[in-house]
């Protein structure tokens, strides 16, 4: 047992080891174009047949070697491979582009190894999950997958509603630099808030294409290529979209995510796609965000259970029902046969004068206004973001005190209200400039008055957006959640026109994203009343 696997076993609560393990070999595996990728094999000691788990990663071996050794100590060969241009692998890292071809070549190599016995599992979170989907249609018959906090396609992640997920990519490119050159100082930068502060500073750069210099201290080739060739190029995203690979023959999969992960909706879409093909995938979602420690530990535990069940035929550790969801507000886990757990009972609350949320629409028409200024953009606070500090549910008081947004709050509840799935906000808005974003956030206000965000949604309006009279009628889906608002708590809906730097600020012009430098403030008006009601629709359940 290595020091890393010993520590992981303790903190993650892993089952007892069954084997001594070793690093079998490290090779430089040649891809079809000649680029060599460093590939390391961890194996149980001794003889006998063992299934294989493959993880292809851009984050270097340091953080994942303990995971690989832990799998080997429990009866699996584990193949770790550094994606091209990362760690000591050759070539240049070009996110998402090479994972199909490189993954297929790696599969061929695994199949040719003397220790490979025909049983293959794919595992890993985030980018590693995308790398799984890239080859998911080429796996041998006796295979299994464990995809976590990920998506089979990334256009909707990079360009939500046509905006640019700038904080994700500025934070991620810093993370890649740190984890591929790991040292104590780098680890401190990850968990001290340094990455988030640098991302905020870089995101204010104009033109935005130069933000990589602020974030990383140098030009980042893939960042520059994206601005030049990808952001407005549908063909680029089609080529790297692997959602069409999900089919009736996709291997059994265990999905894992968190209600505060920025890809939870995409993961649930992939889950529901497999269900539509007749699969019964497993699904586990906790009150976690992308890098939540408990999510990482649970992912290793659940992967071991899943791979033992699907590749070794040992199903005694597998839970009876395939869907397990943790409900925020109570922290209680519930198990279901499917997600969503049957049709919801919809409940509506209406925005009304006096900053209230009411069970019936207002009887008289009125309007509320605010000004959005891209020079002082409405900030993001917590939520479903890629961040090592500050993600998840937080006290929203600093955000709700700003003048560039609207806040509406319900009366205290007299009985619990549980929502599972995606709420929607239907709004009628007008603006002085037809370039605006709408960000809505649902929060849980406790009896002490502390408002903590539950879920939120975003959409972008452009001159091409269909008008309804002088403005726009829009319905915004909030990201999926499971949450119980307890008696004495209130619901709060926030409406703003930015969540910076989560979404690149809307500058109010038609200038291209990479070269835009002009900033124009915008006055936004929300219409309320019986003719144009503004409503929050909640998918409620009795659990």
CATH of span 345-541: 2.60.120.260
173: number of Cβ within 10 Å: 21
pLDDT at 159: 96
Encoding tokens for residue 381? Answer: 């606070």
Residues 296-332 pLDDT 10s: 999 999 999 999 999 999 999 999 999 999 999 999 9
Where are the CATH 3.40.50.1820 domain residues in the chain? 3-153+242-336
Whole-number Å distance between alpha carbons of 267 and 433 = 35
Whole-model pTM: value is 0.97
Residue 243 class from Cβ within 10 Å (0-12 exposed, 13-18 middle, 19+ buried)? middle
Give me the pLDDT at residue 39, please.
98
**What is the structure's pLDDT at 184?**
54
Question: In a 10 Å sphere around its CB, with 0-12 CB exposed, 13-18 middle and 19+ buried, how is residue 469 labelled?
Answer: exposed
Question: What's the pLDDT at 186?
Answer: 65
pLDDT at 185: 63
Identify the segments of the chain with pLDDT beneath 70. 182-187
Q: How far is CA 76 from CA 18, 67, 79, in A?
A: 10, 11, 10
Q: Are 57 and 81 in contact (CB under 8 A)?
A: yes
CATH 2.60.120.260: which residues of the chain? 345-541
Preceding amide of 163 cis, omega within 30: no
Nearest residue to 422 via CA among 299, 339, 331, 302: 339
Instruction: Give me the CATH topology for the region 3-153+242-336.
Output: Rossmann fold (3.40.50)
pLDDT at position 87: 93
Report residue 372 as tokens.
Answer: 């959005």
């Amino acid at each position: 047992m290595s020091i890393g696997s010993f520590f992981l076993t303790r903190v993650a609560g892993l089952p007892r080891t069954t084997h001594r393990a070793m690093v079998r070999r490290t090779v430089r595996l040649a891809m079809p174009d000649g680029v060599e990728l460093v590939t390391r094999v961890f194996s149980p000691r001794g003889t006998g047949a063992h299934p294989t788990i493959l993880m292809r990663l851009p984050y270097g071996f340091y953080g994942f070697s303990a995971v690989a050794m832990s799998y080997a100590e429990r009866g699996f060969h584990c193949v770790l491979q550094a994606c091209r241009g990362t760690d000591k692998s050759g070539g240049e890292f070009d996110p998402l582009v090479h994972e199909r071809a490189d993954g297929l070549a790696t599969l061929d190599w695994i199949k040719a190894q003397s220790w490979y016995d025909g049983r293959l599992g794919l595992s890993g979170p985030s980018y590693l999950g995308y790398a799984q989907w890239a080859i998911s249609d080429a796996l041998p018959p006796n295979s299994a997958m464990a995809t976590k906090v990920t998506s089979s396609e990334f256009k909707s992640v990079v360009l939500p509603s046509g905006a640019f997920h700038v904080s994700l990519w500025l934070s991620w490119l810093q993370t890649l630099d740190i984890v591929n050159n790991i040292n104590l100082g780098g680890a401190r930068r990850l968990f001290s808030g340094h990455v988030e502060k640098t991302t905020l500073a870089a995101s204010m750069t104009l033109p935005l294409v130069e933000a990589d210099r602020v974030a990383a201290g140098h030009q980042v080739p893939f960042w520059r290529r994206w601005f030049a060739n990808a952001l407005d190029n549908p063909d680029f995203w089609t080529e790297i979209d692997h959602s069409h690979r999900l089919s009736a023959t996709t291997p059994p999969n265990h999905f894992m995510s968190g209600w505060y992960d920025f890809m939870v909706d995409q993961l649930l879409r992939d889950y529901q796609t497999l269900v539509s093909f007749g699969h019964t995938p497993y699904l586990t979602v906790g009150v976690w965000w992308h890098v939540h420690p408990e999510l990482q530990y649970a992912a290793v535990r659940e992967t071991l259970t899943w791979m033992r069940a699907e590749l070794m035929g040992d199903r005694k550790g597998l839970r009876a029902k395939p869907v397990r969801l943790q409900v925020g507000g109570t922290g209680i886990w519930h198990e279901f046969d499917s997600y969503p757990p049957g049709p919801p009972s919809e409940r509506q609350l209406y925005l009304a004068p006096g900053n209230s949320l009411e069970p019936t629409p207002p009887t008289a028409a009125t309007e509320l206004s605010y000004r959005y200024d891209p020079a002082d953009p409405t900030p993001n606070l917590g939520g479903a973001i890629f961040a090592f500090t500050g993600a998840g549910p937080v006290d929203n008081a600093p955000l709700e005190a700003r003048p560039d947004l609207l806040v509406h709050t319900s009366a205290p509840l007299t009985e619990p209200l549980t929502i599972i799935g995606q709420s929607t906000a239907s709004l009628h808005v007008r603006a002085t400039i037809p370039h605006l974003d709408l960000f809505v956030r649902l929060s849980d206000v406790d009896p002490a008055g502390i408002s903590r965000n539950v879920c939120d949604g975003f959409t972008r309006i452009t001159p091409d957006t269909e008008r309804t009279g002088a403005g726009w009628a829009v319905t915004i889906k909030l990201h999926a959640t499971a949450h119980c608002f307890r008696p004495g708590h209130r619901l709060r809906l926030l409406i703003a026109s930015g969540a910076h730097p989560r979404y690149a600020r809307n500058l109010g012009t038609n200038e291209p994203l990479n070269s835009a430098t002009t900033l124009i403030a915008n006055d936004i008006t929300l219409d309320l009343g019986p003719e144009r009601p503004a409503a929050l629709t909640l998918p409620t359940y009795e659990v």
